[in-house]
């Protein structure tokens, strides 16, 4: 019983820790690998985790040209 509780908390911690990476992969971000690396190496600090989460939630830039009508 105690082992199951410890396993539950470890899995919950891992899910919360890698939440920015999970969000980036789910949103099919172009730079999901970079977000994962930031999350992996700096996620232990609250600032690194927040930066990774914000980066994962940001919209990818879409390069669209707006063309004026030829009138």
* pLDDT tens figures, 24-69: 999 999 999 999 999 999 999 999 999 999 999 999 886 666 676 7
Tell me the CB-side half-sphere exposure of residue 43, using CA atoms within 13 A: 21
Q: What is the pTM of this model?
A: 0.80
Joined tokens for residue 24: 């980036």
What's CA 6's distance to the chain center, in Å?
Answer: 25
Distance CA 46, CA 59 (A): 22
Tell me the CB-side half-sphere exposure of residue 68, using CA atoms within 13 A: 2
Boundaries of every domain in the chain: 18-59
């Amino acid at each position: 019983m105690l082992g199951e509780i410890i396993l539950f908390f470890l899995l919950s911690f891992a899910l919360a820790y890698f939440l920015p990476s999970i969000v980036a992969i789910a949103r099919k971000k172009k730079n999901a690998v970079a977000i994962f690396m930031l999350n992996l190496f700096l996620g232990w600090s609250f600032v690194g985790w927040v930066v990774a989460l914000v980066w994962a939630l940001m919209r990818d830039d879409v390069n669209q040209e707006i063309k004026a009508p030829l009138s």
